[in-house]
Structure 1
């Protein structure tokens, strides 16, 4: 099975698109794929406690549950620049969530056998 690198760019202002990305990441992880979920822009807040835990979207699984599924089988990363703009540091993240820069993202998506998706 290929690895999946999935970048979510949408925050609560675009709940349906954000939910699609988070749900695909969790479903792929549950299916056994190694998933690297990147949180960028306003979705960066979902990598921290107490921010944006709900998408307020009918029938949507809560963000914290989706992220927990991904963390069981893969990784969750907040974009470094996005974190800096929001003054999010490593100490501010959920357990298991890291902050990394564009070079790491590029390395991941350019690896052999990787499928990259952006929502």
Structure 2
């Protein structure tokens, strides 16, 4: 193991956000096969960093909150492209990212997943207050 190989467990103790990651699974119901969401990881320590932020005003929809972000998470989790990632931050706010890349596994200590968020500003939820 290299010097950086053991950093993954140390980084997990520093991450204060929690991610639940959903991929696609196949379920059989009689003769039918359906694609259903499957949990890859639940309440897993992570950190999100915003790269860009845009707020767009439109007449038909209202305010749109849009930004690019990077998820920093343990390298041992296999995150497929197009996974849905729900992050609860240290303040209890929950954000759902529906467009993601697969994890970039080029680091020994962690992986980085690029995510894009597009939502109406009214879709922001706070799990502390319901």
- The interval holding the TM-score normalised by the smaller chain is under 0.3
Higher percent of residues as strand: 2
Give the number of the structure whose alpha-carbon radius of gyration is greater.
2
Q: Which has the higher contact order (CA 8 A, sep 6+)?
A: 1
TM-score by length of 1: 0.26
Higher percent of residues as helix: 1
TM-score by length of 2: 0.25
